[in-house]
Homo-oligomer: A and B are copies of this chain.
Amino acid sequence: MSSSSTAQQPSPQLFFQTINAHQRTEALKAAIELEVFTAIGEGNTTAEAIAKRCQTSERGMRILCDYLTIMEMLTKQGNEYALTLDSATFLDKRSPAYLGGAIEFLCSPELLEGHKHLAEAVRKGGTAVGNEGTVGPENPVWVKFARGMAPMMMMAAQLMAKLVDPGAERKLKVLDIAAGHGLFGIAFAQNNPQAEIYAVDWKPVLEVAKENAQKAGVADRHHTIEGSAFDVDFGSGYDLVLITNFLHHFDPPTNETLLRKVHAALADGGRAVTLEFVPNPDRVTPPDSAGFSMMMLVGTPSGDAYTFAELERMFANAGFSHSTIQPLPPTIQQVVISEK
């Protein structure tokens, strides 16, 4: 019964859906906070039963669950709701892949603040939030990132370790730049018992990485270097330098400065391993990677989602001989491997 736009007839439907899209964020956030997905996973399937388990009104729960169904995060048959494969995997607290905690970062006031000043950011060409947005010194949002986003990055970290160090039979000295939760370095340590990891980040963030290394049983091979990646002494002789979700925060000249430092820290034959949102040259596909530029516009002075050609040029300008790219399914990100 809903109308849609055709070549003949314009429709305000997309306008209406888009201007109200913020409701989708609020509904998902509320459902995670109220543990709706967990309640359904536990076997509560009617609005009445879910409401009882989550201590809410039945009416409010019915409207929320219908909305989650419309958003394809639940299914509905008669009056009974069920989890989808995705929501069972990622949004039921009892799932090992639960990533509901990511809302602490993705819906943090620090991140949302930038979006609220988008028009101003477009005028200016960079974040309209003071102190360099999220890349200002020691911004506390990165502790939220380290705690909230770890589960979301777990899969990428493990896939990356297998991809880059498939044999896992040789000694490996790994520098993990802007380690955050530390999961990327930790995955290499878990994958290869001879790997030694050196994680760089601000002190309060490294506390999270250390906790995670402890939990993963690799604390004895997980070392830390406190401070900004632009300032600290990396040491040298690394076989791998991991640069995960970092370059998008800065402009190309700033990145090239960092990459020259990375190049110097690598042993001969060493490789830089970059994880990024990489749009196609058209900058509008694939949608999630291309759309990531928006987050950088509102949150940083001059960050961006770089195409492979742009990344390749930065690495080449920093002295790297050769870069290749490959997808990391089922994640939406890609890995660029650059050889010294």
Give chain A's interface residues, CB within 8 Å of chain B: 1-3, 5, 7, 9-30, 33-34, 55-64, 66-67, 69-73, 76, 84-86, 88-91, 97, 99, 102-103, 106-107, 112, 115-116, 118-119, 121-126, 152, 280, 282-291, 293-298, 302, 304, 327, 329-332, 334
Q: How far is the CA of A55 from the CA of B331 in the complex (A)?
A: 38
Q: Which of B25, B69, B123 contacts A55 (CB 8 A)?
A: B123
Hey, which chain B residues are within 8 Å of A21, CB to CB? 21-25
Hey, which chain B residues are within 8 Å of A295, CB to CB? 20, 23
Hey, which chain B residues are within 8 Å of A288, CB to CB? 2, 13, 16-17
- Contact, CB under 8 Å: B12 / A290: no
- Contact, CB under 8 Å: B118 / A13: no
Q: For residue A177, give the distance in angstroms from its CB to the closest CB of chain B.
A: 23
Q: For residue A60, give the distance in angstroms from its CB to the closest CB of chain B.
A: 4
- Contact, CB under 8 Å: A18 / B123: no
Q: How far is the CA of A5 from the CA of B84 in the complex (A)?
A: 10
Could you list 20 examples of A-B contacts with CB < 8 Å? A2-B289, A3-B329, A10-B85, A10-B89, A12-B86, A18-B24, A21-B23, A21-B25, A22-B22, A26-B118, A29-B118, A59-B125, A66-B284, A66-B293, A67-B291, A67-B293, A67-B294, A70-B287, A76-B282, A76-B284
- Contact, CB under 8 Å: A20 / B106: yes
Q: A1-B289, A124-B57 are in contact. Are A15 and B86 (CB under 8 A)?
A: yes
Q: A15-B91, A66-B290 are in contact. Are A60 and B3 (CB under 8 A)?
A: no
Hey, which chain B residues are within 8 Å of A33, CB to CB? 119
Chain B residue with minimal CB distance to A282?
Answer: B76
Q: For residue A92, give the distance in angstroms from its CB to the closest CB of chain B.
A: 11
Q: Which of B1, B18, B59 contacts A327 (CB 8 A)?
A: B1
Q: A22-B112, A30-B122 are in contact. Are A297 and B72 (CB under 8 A)?
A: no
Chain A interface, >50% SS class: helix
- Contact, CB under 8 Å: A90 / B15: yes
- Contact, CB under 8 Å: A69 / B284: yes
10 closest A-B pairs by beta carbon, nearest first, are: A57-B125, A60-B122, A10-B89, A21-B24, A2-B286, A30-B119, A3-B330, A22-B22, A22-B25, A30-B118
- Contact, CB under 8 Å: B118 / A18: no
Chain B residue with minimal CB distance to A106?
Answer: B19
Q: Which of B13, B23, B61, B86 contacts A11 (CB 8 A)?
A: B86
Candidate in A63, A285, A332 with the most chain B CB atoms within 10 angstroms? A63
Q: For residue A111, give the distance in angstroms from its CB to the closest CB of chain B.
A: 9
- Contact, CB under 8 Å: A20 / B25: yes
Q: A15-B28, A70-B284, A85-B10 are in contact. Are A294 and B23 (CB under 8 A)?
A: yes
- Contact, CB under 8 Å: A122 / B61: yes
Chain B residue with minimal CB distance to A122?
Answer: B60
Q: A1-B289, A13-B332 are in contact. Are A64 and B23 (CB under 8 A)?
A: no
Q: How far is the CA of A16 from the CA of B287 in the complex (A)?
A: 12
Hey, which chain B residues are within 8 Å of A11, CB to CB? 86, 330
Candidate in A67, A112, A290 with the most chain B CB atoms within 10 angstroms? A67
Hey, which chain B residues are within 8 Å of A290, CB to CB? 66, 70
